[in-house]
C-alpha cells in the first residue's frame, strides 16, 4: 500500500509539501516556505530512500525549502526548465533578504541546477522502481505544472496552484486530464467568483488611460514573477500610446530575461517580447525620481505595497489626485494594500499617509475561482477522492462541501496526516 503524508499547506497557504512512500522507496512533491518570522518549513523527511523531488512551480510557498532537501540527498529535482530558472532567482532573492534565518546557504541553492533533471509537460519519467511521474500544464505562472504520479497501480494528481482560464501570459491549465484515483487540490479561491477576465482587463486599461491622459502617473504594485509580465502584455495589446512610458522595477527585469529564454511556456512569446522591448528598466533611485516626474505607468514590487520599491514610488505619488495606485492582486487583510483600499489612509514605514491619488483594484487572478475549481475537478475521470489543501481553513471546508454536494468524496487534509491507497 502506498502512503501519502501531507507535510504542509493544510488549512493554510504556505509550506506546501507531500511525501509519498511505496515499499522501500519515497518521493517528495514540493517543499515550500511559509513567510512568518522566522520562516516556517514542513517537517523534515527521511531522505535515505528518496527517489526524486517533483516541483509544481517556482513560487516560494512551493519551492522555498527545496535546498534543505537537496543538501541531504543526491536525488534529482524534476520540474520544467522555466520553473528551475525562476526558482533559483526567487531562492536567491529570499536568501538576500533573510539569510541568517534560513537553514540553507547559497551553495545549497546551487544544487537546484546541479541535481536538476529536465522534464517537459506530458512526458512520463520513472522515479525509482515504484513511481512514474508526468507533468501537465497548470496555467498558473509560466512553467507551472500539475504533478501526476502512478504508484501501486493507482494514479494521484497534485494540482499545485492552477488556473483554468487563459491569460495573456499563460495558456490555461490542461483540459481533459486522464483518469485519477486521488486528487490533492488547491482551494485558494474556493469562496470567490472572479469577474470575467475581459471585464477586469478593460477596467484596468481604462484606469491607466484616464490617469496618464490627465497627466498623472499610474503606479501598479505587482509581484515580479508572472503578474508584472501579464500587465506589460495587457498594456501592449491594448495599444497604450507610445508617448506614455512603461517603467519596470525590481525582479521583473530578471524574470523577463528568463521567460524570453523559455518561449514554449508563454501564450504569446511575440507579445511578451514586444512588451519587454518597450519597457524602460529602472536601475536606481535617480531613475525612480525621473520616472515619476514624466508621468506614465510604473510596475513595481511589492504587490500589496508591503516593502520593495513600491514604497518609494508611493511616497512620491500619494498626495496628487492626478496619480493612481492600481492593485492587480487580492490584498490580504492586514497588508498596506488592503488598508489603503478600505480607508484611503495607510501606514507606510511608520508614518500615516492620507492618500489623495485615486486608488483602484482590478484583480487579475492566477488561480481558478470557485466555479473554475469545481468545473476542473469534477471533469477529472475515475471518480477520484479529493483532498483539499492550500487555502484558508474556510476555503478548504467550502470546497469540500461543494464537492460533497455533487456526490463526491472530499476531505480537508490536516498537517502531518497520513493516508494509504
| Least distance between Zn ion and beta carbon 170 (Å) | 12
Separation between Cα atoms, residue 230 and residue 223, nearest integer Å: 11
| Least distance between Zn ion and beta carbon 172 (Å) | 15
Binding piece for Zn ion, criterion CB under 5 A, among 57-65, 221-229, 306-314, 345-353: 57-65
| Least distance between Zn ion and beta carbon 262 (Å) | 17
Binding piece for Zn ion, criterion CB under 5 A, among 10-18, 113-121, 153-161, 320-328: 153-161
Q: Which is nearer to Zn ion, 13 or 109 (CB)?
A: 13
Binds Zn ion (CB under 5 A): choice among 59, 84, 130, 180: 59
Q: Which stretches within 27-171 are classed as H helix?
A: 60-63, 66-70, 81-98, 106-114
Number of residues that bind Zn ion (CB under 5 A): 2
Q: Which H or E element spans position 158?
A: strand 154-158
Q: Which is nearer to Zn ion, 115 or 159 (CB)?
A: 159
Based on DSSP, count helices (H) and strands (E) in the chain, helices before strands. 13, 22
Count CB neighbours of 217 within 10 A: 26
Q: Which is nearer to Zn ion, 59 or 150 (CB)?
A: 59
All cell numbers assigned to 171:
495558456
| Least distance between Zn ion and beta carbon 17 (Å) | 14
Q: Which is nearer to Zn ion, 108 or 161 (CB)?
A: 161
DSSP 226: T
Binding piece for Zn ion, criterion CB under 5 A, among 155-163, 209-217, 273-281, 305-313: 155-163
| Least distance between Zn ion and beta carbon 366 (Å) | 7
| Least distance between Zn ion and beta carbon 147 (Å) | 14
The residues with which 326 forms a beta bridge, in sequence order, are 360
State which of positions 247-276 bind Zn ion (CB under 5 A): none
Cis check: omega of the bond before 352, within 30 degrees of 0: no
Binding piece for Zn ion, criterion CB under 5 A, among 56-64, 200-208, 264-272, 282-290: 56-64
The CA-based angle 138-259-29, given to 5 degrees, is 40
Separation between Cα atoms, residue 58 and residue 62, nearest integer Å: 7
**Which among 15, 14, 18, 16 has a CA at the least distance from the CA of 6?**
18
Q: Which H or E element spans position 280?
A: strand 280-281
Separation between Cα atoms, residue 414 and residue 15, nearest integer Å: 13
Q: Which is nearer to Zn ion, 56 or 370 (CB)?
A: 56
Separation between Cα atoms, residue 6 and residue 4, nearest integer Å: 7
Residue nearest to Zn ion (CB): 59
Site string for Zn ion, 158-197 (x = CB under 5 A): ---x------------------------------------
State which of positions 78-137 bind Zn ion (CB under 5 A): none
Interacting residue ranges for Zn ion, rule: CB under 5 A: 59, 161
Amino acid at each position: 500500500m502506498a502512503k501519502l503524508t501531507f507535510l504542509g499547506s493544510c488549512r493554510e497557504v504556505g509550506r506546501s509539501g507531500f511525501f509519498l512512500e511505496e515499499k522501500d522507496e519515497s518521493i517528495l512533491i514540493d517543499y515550500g516556505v511559509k513567510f512568518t518570522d522566522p520562516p516556517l518549513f514542513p517537517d523534515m523527511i527521511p531522505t535515505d530512500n528518496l527517489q526524486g523531488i517533483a516541483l509544481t512551480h517556482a513560487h516560494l510557498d512551493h519551492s522555498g525549502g527545496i535546498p534543505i532537501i537537496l543538501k541531504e540527498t543526491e536525488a534529482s529535482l524534476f520540474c520544467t526548465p522555466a520553473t528551475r530558472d525562476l526558482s533559483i532567482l526567487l531562492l536567491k532573492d529570499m536568501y538576500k533578504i533573510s539569510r541568517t534565518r534560513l537553514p540553507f546557504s547559497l551553495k545549497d541553492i546551487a544544487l537546484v541546477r546541479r541535481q536538476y533533471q529536465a522534464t517537459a509537460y506530458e512526458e512520463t519519467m520513472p522515479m525509482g522502481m515504484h513511481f512514474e511521474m508526468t507533468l501537465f500544464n497548470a496555467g498558473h505562472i509560466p512553467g507551472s505544472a500539475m504533478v501526476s504520479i502512478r504508484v501501486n497501480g493507482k494514479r494521484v494528481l497534485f494540482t499545485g496552484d492552477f488556473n483554468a482560464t487563459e491569460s495573456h501570459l499563460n495558456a490555461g491549465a490542461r483540459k481533459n486530464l486522464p483518469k485519477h484515483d486521488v486528487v490533492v487540490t488547491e482551494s485558494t479561491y474556493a469562496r470567490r467568483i472572479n469577474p470575467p477576465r475581459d471585464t477586469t482587463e478593460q477596467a484596468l486599461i481604462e484606469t491607466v488611460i484616464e490617469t496618464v491622459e490627465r497627466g498623472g502617473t499610474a503606479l501598479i504594485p505587482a509581484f515580479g514573477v508572472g503578474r508584472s509580465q501579464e500587465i506589460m502584455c495587457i498594456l501592449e495589446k491594448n495599444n497604450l500610446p507610445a508617448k506614455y512610458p512603461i517603467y519596470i522595477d525590481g525582479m521583473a527585469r530578471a524574470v523577463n530575461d528568463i521567460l524570453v529564454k523559455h518561449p514554449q511556456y508563454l501564450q504569446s512569446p511575440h507579445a511578451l517580447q514586444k512588451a519587454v522591448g518597450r519597457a524602460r528598466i529602472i536601475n536606481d533611485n535617480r531613475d525612480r525620481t525621473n520616472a515619476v516626474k514624466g508621468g506614465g505607468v510604473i510596475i513595481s514590487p511589492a504587490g500589496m505595497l508591503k516593502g520593495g520599491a513600491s514604497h518609494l514610488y508611493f511616497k512620491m505619488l500619494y498626495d496628487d489626485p492626478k496619480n493612481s495606485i492600481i492593485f492587480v492582486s487580492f490584498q490580504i487583510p492586514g497588508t498596506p494594500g488592503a488598508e489603503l483600499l478600505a480607508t484611503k489612509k495607510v501606514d507606510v514605514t511608520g508614518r500615516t499617509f492620507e492618500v489623495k491619488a485615486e486608488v483602484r483594484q482590478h484583480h487579475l487572478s492566477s488561480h481558478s475561482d470557485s466555479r473554475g475549481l469545481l468545473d476542473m475537478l469534477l471533469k477529472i475521470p475515475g471518480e477520484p477522492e479529493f483532498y483539499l489543501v492550500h487555502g484558508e481553513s474556510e476555503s478548504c471546508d467550502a470546497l469540500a462541501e461543494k464537492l460533497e454536494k455533487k456526490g463526491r468524496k472530499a476531505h480537508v487534509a490536516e498537517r502531518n496526516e497520513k493516508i494509504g491507497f
